[in-house]
């Protein structure tokens, strides 16, 4: 059995790049308190700090094969500071959206409106990842409320091709929303 706790950081990162879950666990155990302290220092919120640290480790695992880390401690500390900054910017944007776009109503209505706005932005982000033709068909149908036959005429494609693009767009959006559903339920 390997004693990961005795490994230096560079060896742990090498093992991590190979997908070694035990190396990842050791990195987590070695650094989560330090990262939590950094996040809490800047965010001044236990929940926000926990969320930030969780995000850092999720991204580290997701990108394990892509990142080259020379100094693990410095890399994670920098990632933590950047994540805190991103979180603070998000919070500022939420406050700004609330201030700019919402009339004074009850807090429950504010929350629902903000969530609807963020869901709309999330879907917009999904649409931006679609192929050009697929995105244009979806936007003409959704934003301009054009029938499929009219979209086909405008784009000089067959109605079946337009339907296929629309179905592909809707399927992509549904799948992305289904995958993200766990993230959305975490906030309730």
CATH number for the domain running over 1-101: 1.10.1740.10
pTM tops 0.85: no
Residues of the chain with CATH 1.10.1740.10: 1-101
For the record, the structure tokens of 174 come out as 């549904």
Q: Which residue, among 17, 36, 27, 147, has the nearest Cα to 83 in the 3D structure?
A: 36
What is the CATH architecture assignment of 104-188? Orthogonal Bundle (1.10)
Q: Which two tokens stand for residue 94?
A: 């939420």
Where, residue-wise, is CATH 1.10.10.10 in the chain?
104-188
Residue-wise pLDDT tens for the chain (188 aa)?
Answer: 368 999 999 999 999 999 999 999 999 999 999 999 999 998 888 998 999 999 999 999 999 988 888 889 988 998 888 888 888 777 777 777 776 665 555 555 566 677 777 777 778 778 888 888 888 899 899 888 889 999 999 889 999 999 999 999 999 888 877 766 544 443 44
């Amino acid at each position: 059995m390997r004693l990961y706790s005795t490994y230096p950081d560079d060896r742990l990162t090498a093992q991590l790049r190979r997908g070694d879950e035990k190396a990842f666990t050791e990195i987590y155990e070695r650094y989560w308190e330090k990262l939590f302290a950094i996040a809490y220092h800047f965010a001044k919120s236990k929940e926000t700090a926990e969320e930030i640290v969780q995000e850092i480790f999720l991204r580290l695992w997701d990108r394990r094969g892509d990142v080259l880390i020379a100094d693990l401690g410095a890399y994670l500390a920098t990632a933590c500071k950047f994540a805190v900054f991103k979180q603070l910017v998000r919070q500022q944007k939420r406050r700004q959206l609330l201030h700019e776009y919402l009339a004074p109503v009850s807090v429950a209505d504010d929350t629902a409106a903000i969530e609807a706005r963020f869901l709309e932005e999330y879907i917009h982000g999904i649409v931006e990842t679609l192929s050009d033709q697929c995105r244009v068909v979806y936007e003409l149908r959704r934003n301009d409320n054009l029938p499929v036959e009219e979209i086909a005429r405008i784009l000089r494609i067959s109605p079946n091709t337009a339907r296929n693009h629309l179905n592909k767009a809707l399927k992509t959006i549904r799948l992305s929303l289904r995958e993200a559903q766990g993230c959305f339920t975490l906030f309730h």
